[in-house]
Each structure stands twice: as structure tokens, then as C-alpha cells.
Amino acid sequence: MTKSVTKQDTTGEHRRLVKVLIDKFVKDGLSIVTADYEGYLKPRKQGRHEPDVVAETPDGLLVIGEAKLCDRLTATKTMEQLYDFSTRQVRDGPLRGTPIPFHIITPMACNEQLHLVLKGLGLENRDNVHIWMSS
């Protein structure tokens, strides 16, 4: 018998990925500014969409994090988010024009699909895009 994936299962997996991203950022010395996770203020829009996590480096550079499940990678909203978040730049100050670091986390099973989507959007070789896989 095949188990069907319910909305609750999907939400739980997404939340797990958001937590993995939060933990990774904290381990790397970043401060979590906002996150779509209990205990944090929900992120505000960065362009057209809200990211899952916004963190800050010790020198004040914002970092955007987004968790995606395999079945959402080819959705129009996801492609807009990937493009928008990966092309954002610092607007003011001495770092003006610097690309904002963008971290994407997906399940390991999505690796090839994510790379194809990024390639299709022309984003696969951007230095500010960081891909994380979770088992």
C-alpha cells in the first residue's frame, strides 16, 4: 500500500528544513533576524515574496534563506522567489551593490531538479547562491 502525502506531512517537512537552515546559520555565526518558525517574527517581503529566514552576518550583511520541497520547485511562485532572492543587492552604505547571500535548502532527492531549475533561470553560477541538501 502506498502512503499518500498529506498537507500536514508537507508542512512538517518544510518546517524541518527551515529549522535545519536556522541551525546552520546560527552555527556559522549569523544572527536570525526573522524566520517562518515558532519563536521568531515572521519575515517581511523581500521584493515580491517573504523568505523563510532572514539572518545577519556579524558585519551587518543580510542573508536570505529559503526551504523548498521537491514538488514545489517548478511552481511559478518558487521560480519567482529563487530569481528575486538570488538577485537582491545591498541598497545603501559601503556595501551598496553587493549581492545578498541567498541560501536554498531542499531534500537530497531534489538536488538534480533544483540545479535544472536554477540553470533554467540563469542562476546556477551566481557566487551568492548557496545550495544545501538535507537527508
Quick: pLDDT tens for 112-125. Answer: 999 999 999 999 89
Is 2 contained in some domain? no
Looking at the DSSP bridge assignments, the partners of residue 35 are 53
Is 93 contained in some domain? yes
**What is residue 10's predicted lDDT score, i.e. its pLDDT?**
54
| Domain carrying residue 84 | 11-134
Is 117 contained in some domain? yes
CA distances 35 to 39, 56, 120, Å, are 8, 12, 28
99, pLDDT greater than 80: yes
Is 113 contained in some domain? yes
What CATH number does residue 17 fall under? 3.40.1350
Is 41 contained in some domain? yes
Distance CA 117, CA 78 (A): 10
- Tens of pLDDT, residues 7-19: 334 579 999 999 9
* Span between the terminal Cα atoms of the chain, in Å: 24
What is the reported pTM?
Answer: 0.88
Is 6 contained in some domain? no
20, pLDDT greater than 70: yes
Residue 103, SS3 per DSSP: strand
Domain count, the chain: 1
- Tens of pLDDT, residues 31-83: 999 999 999 999 999 889 999 999 999 988 999 999 999 999 999 999 999 99
Do 83 and 121 meet the contact criterion of CB atoms below 8 Å apart?
Answer: yes
Distance CA 103, CA 43 (A): 15
Do 81 and 51 meet the contact criterion of CB atoms below 8 Å apart?
Answer: yes
Is 3 contained in some domain? no
